[in-house]
Amino acid sequence: MRRSAAVIAALAISVGGCARALRPVDAGSPLGSADRASADPAAAQLLMQAAETAFARRPDLAQVREAEQLWLRAAVTDATNAEPIVGAVRAQVWLAENDTDQQRRRDTATESVSTAQWCSRREPANPTCSYWLALAVGVQANQRRATANDGLQVMVRALHAAIERDERTDHAGPHRVLALVLVRAPGWPTGPGDPDTGLVHAEQAVSLFPDFPPNWLTLGEALHETDQPQRSLEAYRCALEAARGQLDHPDAVVWIQGAEATLGDDEGGCTITVAAAGNLF
Amino acid sequence: MDAPPLPPVAATFLCDAMLKTVLLLLTLTLTGSGATAPLHLVAWAPGYPGSTTQAQPTMDEFARLLANAAGWDADRVTAEYQETEVGGLARLTHEGTQFALIPLALFFKYEDQLDLHPLAQVVGPGGEASETWCLVAPAGRITGPGDLAGWTVMGIPGYSEAFVRGNLLGAWGPLPSNVNVEFTRRVLGGIRRASSGENVAVLLDSAQTAAMASLPNAGELEIVATSERVLLGLLVSVDTRVEASTEEALSGGLMRVHESPAFAELLSTVRVSRFEPVDQEAIASSREAFDKAR
C-alpha cells in the first residue's frame, strides 16, 4: 500500500459539506447474497493468488481492474472469509486514486466504501476491515467533497478501532493514516486536525515498521507540520533510503518520488535510528 | 495584445498625422486589452489548514464563479491559496497579483508595505462580519495583563504582535514588554501546554471559544480577556494594479456571489456566507488600536 497521500489530500481544505460518508449497503450486491454453506475456500484461494499477481502489476490500470474482479469473485466464492473483500477494497481505493477517467474515479470511490462496509459486516471485529473502510472513505471524500466533513469523523473512528484491534495492520497503516488525517485535516474545532497527536502516531508507525518507506514519509510530513524542519528532512532521507532498498516493490517509484520531491538535491543519509523500545533518536 | 507590425513600404510614407493616428489606434488597442487582462487573487491565511496545491481545485472554482459574477469571461480570474505568511507575501509582492483575501491582522501588518485597499469585507457563517477573540490561561493564575510578564501568548494572529497587543488585548490593558507573542497553527498544542500549567496563554477565535467547554482539560483553563469585535477578513486590491472600474466590477460581483447556489456552497466550505461593503468606521477604529501598539 502506498502512503495514500491523495487519500486525504482534499480533506485538508474541506470543512463544509453535509452528505453522509456511509450509506446503507446494497442488499442486492453479490457480496450480500453469497452463500456461506457453499463456500469453496480452495477455489477462492486460487482466485486471490491470481488477484495478487495482477495487482502487483500496478500502475497498469487494466491489471488492477482485473485484480478487483478476481477478488470480488473470490469473496463470493468463499463467503466465510473477509480477506478477498479486503483485496477488492485495496484495488478499488487504488483505482479511485489513479484511474485516468474522473467519473470512474468517483464511481469507484463510492463503490470502495460499499465494499469496505461488506467487509465489516462479514467480520465486524476485523481491524483490516476498519482500516480499509477508513481509506475508502478518504478517497470518497477526495472525489465527492460533500462527504468530507462526515468522512473525517468516520475515518478517525475507524482508524482508532483498527489501532485498538491490531496496530500492525498494513505495516502500521492505522497509525500512519491517522497521522496523515490529523496532520492535514482542519484543526479544532472545525475538524479533527491535531498535528502534535499526528506526530505521535507517525512516530509509532516508524517504530513498528522502520523499513516501510511510507511510514518515514508520513513522519517527515508530521515533523514539518510541527515546525521541526531539520528532523523532517532527516525523516525524508530515511524514506528515500528505505525505498531504494526495495526497488522491486510496485510502489517504490512513488515512494522515491515522494521523498525526492521534498529533498531536492539533498545528499544526506538516514541518521534517525529506532531503538529497541521503539523510541526514535 | 501586440499591434501587428507595419509593412516597411507603409512605414516609409508615414507622415506626422498618420503616425498620430497609428499611435492613437495602438493606445486604444492596448486600453482594450487592459479591460480583459488576466486578474489574480490570492487567498492568504497563515495558520489555516491545507496547502496551495491541495486548495487549487477549490480556488479554481472560486475564480471561475467570481469571474462570472463580475460579468467577465470565466477564465479571466485565477486564484490561489497561501497558508504561510512568507508565501503570501511573495505572491502579493509579485506584479501579477491584483487582489487578496486576507484576515484583518494581515491587512494592518502589510497595509502600507503592499499598498492594500479594502474593497469588501467577509461575512461569516453566522451572519456577522466581526468576532471577538478570547485569551485563555491556566485557571486562577492571571488577574490582569501585568501577570503575563515573562509568559508566552500564542495563537494564529501571533504573526502580528501589534495586532495582538493593540486590537485583541489592548482594551484589557497594555501587555508587559517581556511577553512573548508567538504565532502557532497548532492551537490545541497551546491549550495542552496551558492546561498542564506552563506559562502559556492562548488566543481563541469565537468558534474555538464556543467549543472550549468540550475539551477534556477545559476545567484547567479560564478565559481571562475578551477582545473588542474585529472584522473577520477583507478583500483588498494590491498596489493599485488595476483601474477603478475593474475594482468596482469585482466588488459588485462579490456582493452578489452568495445569490448563486453553487457559489454559496463553495463559500460555505471556507466558512464564508457572503461579502458586504467595507465598514470604514470599524477599520478606522481598529487601525487606531493597531497603530498605538506598533
Distance from C-alpha of B230 to C-alpha of B245, rounded to nearest angstrom: 29
Domain boundaries, chain B: 39-125+231-293, 133-228
Distance from C-alpha of B207 to C-alpha of B223, rounded to nearest angstrom: 14
Helices (H), B36-172: 52-70, 85-93, 104-114, 161-162
Closest residue by Cα to residue A160 from A186, A127, A193? A127
B54 vs A12, A189, A190: nearest CB: A12
Find the helix packing angle between A169-184 and A148-166, rounded to 10°: 140
Nearest CA in chain A to B190: A196
Q: What is the mean pLDDT of residues B66-74?
A: 90
Please determine, for residue B226, whether its predicted confidence score (pLDDT) is greater than 70: yes
> Would you state the cell numbers that stand for residue B140, as one nine-digit string?
486562577
| CB-based contact B187 A188, cutoff 8 Å | yes
- Does residue B62 belong to the interface with chain A, where contact is any CB pair within 8 Å? no
Q: Is A17 left (phi over 0), alpha (psi -120 to 50) or beta?
A: left
Number of neighbouring beta carbons within 10 Å of residue A246: 14
Burial of A35 (0-12, 13-18, 19+ CB in 10 A): exposed
Q: What is the mean pLDDT of chain B?
A: 87
Distance from C-alpha of A209 to C-alpha of B260, rounded to nearest angstrom: 50
Size of interface A-B (CB pairs under 8 A): 65
| Residues of chain B numbered 192-221 and touching chain A (CB < 8 Å) | 192, 207-208, 210-211, 214
Distance from C-alpha of A138 to C-alpha of B284, rounded to nearest angstrom: 45
Please determine, for residue B5, whether its predicted confidence score (pLDDT) is greater than 60: no
Any idea what DSSP says for residue A275? -
pLDDT in tens, chain A (281 residues): 444 433 333 333 444 457 899 988 877 788 887 777 778 999 999 999 999 999 999 999 999 999 999 999 999 999 999 999 999 999 999 999 999 999 999 999 999 999 999 999 999 999 999 999 999 999 998 888 788 889 999 999 999 999 999 999 999 999 999 999 999 888 888 889 999 999 999 999 999 999 999 999 999 999 999 999 999 999 999 999 999 999 999 999 999 999 999 998 887 888 887 764 455 55
B186 vs A17, A184, A195: nearest CB: A195
Note the Cα A259 to chain centre separation in Å: 18
A13 vs B49, B185, B211: nearest CB: B49
- Does residue B57 belong to the interface with chain A, where contact is any CB pair within 8 Å? yes
**pLDDT, tens only, A110-155:** 999 999 999 999 999 999 999 999 999 999 988 887 888 899 999 9
| CB-based contact B269 A14, cutoff 8 Å | yes
- Does residue B268 belong to the interface with chain A, where contact is any CB pair within 8 Å? yes
CATH class, domain B133-228, is alpha beta
Share of chain B above pLDDT 70, in %: 88
Helices (H), chain A: 30-33, 41-55, 61-77, 83-98, 102-122, 127-143, 148-166, 169-184, 195-208, 213-225, 229-244, 252-263
Burial of A254 (0-12, 13-18, 19+ CB in 10 A): buried
> Would you state the cell numbers that stand for residue A209, as one nine-digit string?
515498521
pLDDT at A14: 44
B269 vs A16, A185, A187: nearest CB: A16
Please determine, for residue B26, whether its predicted confidence score (pLDDT) is greater than 50: no
pLDDT at B53: 85
Cross-strand bridge partners of residue B79: B41
- Does residue A16 belong to the interface with chain B, where contact is any CB pair within 8 Å? yes
Closest residue by Cα to residue B227 from B206, B201, B200, B212? B206
Cross-strand bridge partners of residue B120: B235
Q: Where in chain A is the domain with CATH 1.25.40?
A: 5-154
**pLDDT, tens only, A83-113:** 999 999 999 999 999 999 999 999 999 999 9
CATH class, domain A5-154, is mainly alpha
Distance from C-alpha of A39 to C-alpha of B173, rounded to nearest angstrom: 76
- Does residue A87 belong to the interface with chain B, where contact is any CB pair within 8 Å? no
Q: E strands, chain B, where?
A: 39-44, 77-82, 99-103, 116-123, 130-131, 134-138, 152-155, 180-183, 200-204, 221-226, 230-231, 233-238, 274-276
Examine domains B39-125+231-293 and B133-228 and report if their fold is the same. yes
- Does residue B271 belong to the interface with chain A, where contact is any CB pair within 8 Å? yes
Closest residue by Cα to residue A168 from A108, A218, A202, A208? A208
A13 vs B55, B187, B208: nearest CB: B55
**pLDDT, tens only, B126-135:** 899 999 999 9
> Would you state the cell numbers that stand for residue A75, as one nine-digit string?
469473496
pLDDT at A27: 78
Chain B residues closer than 8 Å to A197 by CB:
188
| CB-based contact B269 A17, cutoff 8 Å | yes
Query: To the nearest whole angstrom, how far is the Cα of A3 from the nearest Cα of chain B?
Result: 16
Nearest CA in chain B to A192: B188
| CB-based contact A12 B265, cutoff 8 Å | no
**For the domain B39-125+231-293, what is the CATH superfamily, name and number?**
Cypl, domain I (3.40.190.180)
Residue that wins the pLDDT comparison between B55 and A276: B55
pLDDT at A39: 85
CB environment A142-168: b (16+ within 10 A), e (fewer):
bbbbbbbbbbbebbbebbebbbebbbe
Residue corresponding to grid cell 495584445: B1
Map residue A171 onto helix, strand or coil. helix
Please determine, for residue B4, whether its predicted confidence score (pLDDT) is greater than 70: no
pLDDT at A186: 86
> Would you state the cell numbers that stand for residue A1, as one nine-digit string?
500500500
Pairing of strands B99-103, B39-44: parallel
- Does residue B185 belong to the interface with chain A, where contact is any CB pair within 8 Å? yes
CA B23 vs CA A76, B30, B35, B261: distances in Å: 78, 10, 19, 46
